[in-house]
């Protein structure tokens, strides 16, 4: 069962740039408005050519709507997520959060088996979190598509 609108973001252990830099989503999203979007994998075609670039190029418009931070999560290690963020121009705009074993996306109920990508991955989604609770959730119907979870959809919902 996936997390629903109105529910609190659970605690967890995510990494940023290095396994030593850890964040608890329940803490970092506890106050203010934050975007969290999930992708099946760093450096994969749809994620690299469409999903991440939309949030990077839309950064100014999203922040202008009162959003405190934009965050990307994927079941990849912290080093891969950091390199992907740098390659995609996300530095200073989109925080790249690693969920190496997929434990956090499982806690959200947003995990999916993707044999082509090696096993457990994140479904493709976007959400707005306000003061620690999900206020908008856009989940791709098949878990992988590129429609409702894109930045332009979420921008219209802000």
Mind telling me the catalytic residues? 47
What's the pLDDT at 117?
Answer: 63
Give the up-direction half-sphere exposure of residue 111: CA atoms within 13 A in the CB hemisphere: 18
Which residues are CB-neighbours of 61 under 8 A, at least 6 positions away?
155
What's the pLDDT at 142?
Answer: 78
Domains defined along the chain, listed by start? 14-157 (3.40.30.10)
Give start and end residues of each alpha helix (H) in the chain: 25-28, 45-46, 52-57, 59-64, 78-87, 103-108, 151-157
Mean pLDDT of successive 10-residue stretches along the chain, which has 158 residues = 94 97 97 97 84 95 97 96 97 97 96 73 94 96 83 94
Burial level of 69, CB count in 10 A (0-12/13-18/19+)? middle
What's the pLDDT at 50?
Answer: 86
pTM: 0.94
What's the pLDDT at 103?
Answer: 96
What's the pLDDT at 139?
Answer: 94
Tokens of 84: 């992907």
**Helix or strand or coil: residue 1?**
coil
What's the pLDDT at 127?
Answer: 97
């Amino acid at each position: 069962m996936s997390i629903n609108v109105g529910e609190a973001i659970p605690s967890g252990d995510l990494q940023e740039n290095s396994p030593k830099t850890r964040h608890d989503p329940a803490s970092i999203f506890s106050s203010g408005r934050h975007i969290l979007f999930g992708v099946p994998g760093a450096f994969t075609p749809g994620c690299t050519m469409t999903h991440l670039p939309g949030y990077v190029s839309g950064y100014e418009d999203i922040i202008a709507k009162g959003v405190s931070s934009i965050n990307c999560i994927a079941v990849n290690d912290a080093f891969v997520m950091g390199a992907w963020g740098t390659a995609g121009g996300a530095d200073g705009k989109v925080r790249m959060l690693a969920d190496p074993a997929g434990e956090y996306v499982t806690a959200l109920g947003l995990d999916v088996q993707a044999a082509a990508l090696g096993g457990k991955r994140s479904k493709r989604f976007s959400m707005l979190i306000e003061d620690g609770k999900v206020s908008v959730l856009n989940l791709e119907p098949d878990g992988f598509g590129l429609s409702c979870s894109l930045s332009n959809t979420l921008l219209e919902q802000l």
